[in-house]
Structure 1
Amino acid sequence: MTFKDLREFLAILEEEGQLIRIEDEVMPEPDLSAIGRAAPDMENGPGVFINKVKGYKYSVVLNVHGSWQNHALMLGLPKETSVKEQFFALDKAWSAYPIKPVWVENAPVKEVKITGGINLFEVLPLFRVNKYDGGFYISKALIVSQDPDDPDNFEKQNAGTYRLQVKGKDLLGILPLPFHDIAIHLKKAEERNQPLPIAICLGNDPVLNFMSSTPIEYFQSEYDFAGAIKGEPIELTKSEVGNLDIPARSEIVLEGYIIPKERKIEGPFGEFPGSYSGARLMPEVRIHTITHRINPIFENLYLGIPWTEIDYLMALNTCIPLYRQLKRDFPEVVAVNAIYTHGMGVIVSTKSRLGGYGKAVAMRLLSTPHGMPYSKIVIIVDEFVDPFNLQQVMWALTTRVRVDKDVVTIPYCPGMPLDPSSEPAGMHTKLIIDATTPVAPDHCRETELIEIPEKTDFWMNYLKNLRQRKGGTNDAMSQM
């Protein structure tokens, strides 16, 4: 089963019994958020297509990624494929990176163009994702930006997911946290006191949304990885302004720029840890152009107390980068389960090469680009323990952990500021639990002191005399 865009994937979901269509008219609030909350709690969590939303012209789809069945279908696997099997299938596809995109003319996303009188409320069926959000939020956008120092470098272009608060007809708030790639681009633009052009792409091929929320390296392309996962190139086109590379088959693209050196209140917003993140000063985006398909589908994402769609979306795409970074330095690592709250909790299975190996693996994970700010609880288990099987993990915790030597806390570390337990926001105490079977050290500890070699005193005097004779010769030569 192959698909090139959201519409073709929805057809696959429907064929597989993983899509429900609602033809009755629904209210934007509270109906849309309630549907987004209910769908992932259903058996096999289907996607939900809402044809009519009161007060709006266009349809909405929710929970596209919101079950392991939908996730498997996105990867081109049978929907019954287990999480562990999906992990290894994704890792295998990862090795095909990069598969370069192709650029196309007459892209479907350019069917309708709006360059004047921008009004987001006429195009997007907007709603509050949770009751006490500070406003309407766009929570499932692929946002494209370029490195101002190297705008023609395709690998430095970023396609990331960042929350957007609608503040006016053409004005949005955005949350670019310091460890995000777009924050690097914004910092460079603001050093020049220049706006940062961006393209906000909505309703995408689900693999593109998957990759835009994946913590890959700065010099890696989300589009190249998406091609590797799909086994074929992604179709791109150019933005109307700014020369940005955007998905040719997105439903809607909002083009604009981040206003430099201005910060306004953004939030609160119900975030992925299951709590409201509060309000803070954040940049704003001005929209100047909208392009979209005829009768575009608005895709948004519900976030709440896990599990919701975002937990499926940010699950295996967090596991694989951490797994590959660990395995590069610690080849004994077998698998990484970082599906809990975007990797704030991680379980790693590994064979221990030597005593204390589990703690070394954990500390390496906490120094990775994603593990550093996000991960705060790391559990290490033996290679024969399936990290995706919590019954086996609990067995390891209850039979392998000696609290006085296997539990380590590291205070004052970088943390995820959206985590309500961080104090102050963005700081954590990290927890390592080594639940591996103890391995004896290679050698017993020796305490017998080394004796001074015989004739040491003789050679000490010999060397001193030799130095003095050479020093005298040099002094004599300097007087000639």
Structure 2
Amino acid sequence: MAHADLREFLETLRKNDQLLEYSDPVRPEPDLSSAAAATTNLTDRGPALLFDNIEGYERGKGRVALNVVGSWPNHALMLGMDTDTPVKEQFFEFAERWEAFPGQVEHRADAPWQEHALTEDIDLFQLLPLFRLNDHDVGCYIDKAIVVTRDPDDPDHFGKQNAGIYRIQVKDKDRLGIQPLAAHDIGLHLRAAEERGENLPVAIAIGNEPVISTVGGMPLAYDQSEYEMAAAIQGAPYRIATAPLTGLDVPWGSEVILEGEIICGRREIEGPFGEFTGYYSGARSQPVIRISRVSHRTDPVFEHLYLGKPWTEMDYTLALNTSVPLYRQLKADFPEVVAVNAMYTQGLLGIISVKQRFGGHAKAVGMRAMTTPHGLAYCKVIIVVDDDIDPFNLAQVMWALSVRFHPQHDLVTVPNGSVLALDPSSDPDGIVHKVVIDATTPISPETRGHYSHEVSNPPATAAWETILKGLIK
């Protein structure tokens, strides 16, 4: 199931009728982002999009791929599973593969992005088919690239090399703005470099196979390698290569590699930008990157991520790589946790199913979710349900909320909790009340309600689900 590069995965999508290739002329704005938004608006089984006839670029050059993992069938193909695999099965498969961490990493010297190199007269607007994603974005962004930095205090520690995804504003021909949050690994690297009075070397890999793009947004521990996790998830050694200017390890199969430095002490206004919350973020003072070298394949494919009001490709990409870490962290403390669905707005809302041991148990699980590494900045609303409820089945969750939740007894409010500043409800930025909604059946010593005689499925329901699954196409 391992894909060497983006092109190989696009071919897998093509063979499974999950790639739509569009050859009529399109404008960079607003056609490209509009097409991506339309795809996810229409269906949760939408195809990836590949455009090869973009105004302002020679036919076949400046190709743009969108919505690459923007549906559950595409996500399943990334995992080497059938396109009809239910979300819950994908969740448990993802969680099982996590157990193989750390996977093996293979260093190679024959990276395809070495075909062309540019060190002078760099103009990113000419090299890349850039466009604004949403109407009021301050400019063009690169938002699905793997950004690689090293810990300046421990540069030889492979696990402390970070390969993450951060929003990048193209500010000039060879100058970028980046948003490295202080709690993120890149933020720690930048602080260490600036305390030394040094620039921070950085490599930006554009156009990658989907596993590293998924892992790049995963809340791993500081000393855990994204490349070793990608190897575990794909079930095969992960290929990397050395970026020639910075010496950083980058994905072997990337389409484009940008290398440069984050400039020590320099800050410029970055934003506004239409974010995954469905609202524009404000303008903030952020660090600046100076690009000194570009390496790229012949006729590179520029992969972009449309994000805005959910659901978009970002929600599919981050769905399970957010849910599984929370699941593992919670299960370590509470073995009774069955599954975690933190797919909604990157885990600002999460649903946890748990097999209760005593009254109040579910509320404790919900509050623990808020103190996990990811939960500190997210997990604003936690819904806890019984183990007979599939947290990925919203009809079941809504039923539990309707009949098992009592507003007087089952609402826990945590005042003035931490949250990411991008949450538009936070006031001041980064502070918000959080809530646990206990939608489980009361058990001793809680004895309220009338839950003694629940309706169950007819006895042959499971057998008929199997029969009908084979008949319904």
Aligned residue runs from structure 1 range 113-128, under 5 A: 113-128=117-132
Query: In the alignment, is residue 30 of structure 1 matched against residue 30 of structure 2?
Result: yes
TM-score norm. by structure 1 comes to: 0.91
Return 5+ residue gaps in structure 2 as ranges: 447-473
Q: Note the C-alpha offset of 1:2.
A: 4.2
Aligned to 1:190, the other structure's residue is in SS state helix
Match of 1:424 among 428, 435, 443: 428
Return 5+ residue gaps in structure 1 as ranges: 443-480
Q: Note the C-alpha offset of 1:364.
A: 1.0
Aligned to 1:325, the other structure's residue is in SS state helix
Residue 449 of structure 1 aligns with which residue?
Answer: none
Residue 464 of structure 2 aligns with which residue?
Answer: none
Q: Note the C-alpha offset of 1:304.
A: 1.3
Q: Note the C-alpha offset of 1:24.
A: 1.6
Contact 2:414 2:433 in 1 (8 A): yes
Query: In the alignment, is residue 244 of structure 1 matched against residue 245 of structure 2?
Result: no
Aligned to 1:259, the other structure's residue is in SS state strand
Match of 2:351 among 344, 347, 354: 347
Aligned residue runs from structure 1 range 304-319, under 5 A: 304-319=308-323
Post-superposition Cα deviations, 1:147-168, rounded to whole Å, max 9, x if no partner, equal 1110110011111100000000
Residue 465 of structure 1 aligns with which residue?
Answer: none
Aligned to 1:405, the other structure's residue is in SS state coil
Aligned to 2:130, the other structure's residue is in SS state coil
Residue type at the aligned position of 1:359: K
Aligned residue runs from structure 1 range 10-29, under 5 A: 10-29=10-29
Distance 2:67 2:108 in 1: 29
Aligned to 2:265, the other structure's residue is in SS state coil
Distance 2:374 2:258 in 1: 28
Distance 1:11 1:433 in 2: 44
Residue 160 of structure 1 aligns with which residue?
Answer: 164
Residue type at the aligned position of 1:29: E
Aligned to 2:294, the other structure's residue is in SS state strand
Distance 2:211 2:2 in 1: 12
TM-score norm. by structure 2 comes to: 0.92
Post-superposition Cα deviations, 1:193-231, rounded to whole Å, max 9, x if no partner, equal 111111111100100100001111111111111101111
**Which runs of structure 1 show a deviation greater than 3 angstroms over 4 or more consecutive aligned residues?**
none
Distance 1:22 1:122 in 2: 22
Distance 1:318 1:431 in 2: 19
Aligned to 1:404, the other structure's residue is in SS state coil
Contact 2:258 2:291 in 1 (8 A): yes
Aligned residue runs from structure 1 range 40-119, under 5 A: 40-43=40-43, 44-56=45-57, 57-119=61-123
Post-superposition Cα deviations, 1:132-190, rounded to whole Å, max 9, x if no partner, equal 00000111111011111101100111111000000000000101112211101111111
Residue type at the aligned position of 2:56: G
Q: Note the C-alpha offset of 1:413.
A: 1.0
Distance 2:105 2:291 in 1: 26
Residue type at the aligned position of 2:305: L
Could you tell me the percent identity over the aligned residues? 54
Query: In the alignment, is residue 131 of structure 1 matched against residue 135 of structure 2?
Result: yes
Q: Note the C-alpha offset of 1:42.
A: 3.3
Contact 2:101 2:229 in 1 (8 A): yes
Contact 2:261 2:291 in 1 (8 A): yes
Distance 2:80 2:416 in 1: 43
* Higher Cα Rg, which structure: 1
Post-superposition Cα deviations, 1:296-319, rounded to whole Å, max 9, x if no partner, equal 100011011111111111111100
Query: In the alignment, is residue 141 of structure 1 matched against residue 145 of structure 2?
Result: yes
Contact 2:124 2:174 in 1 (8 A): yes
Distance 1:38 1:391 in 2: 25
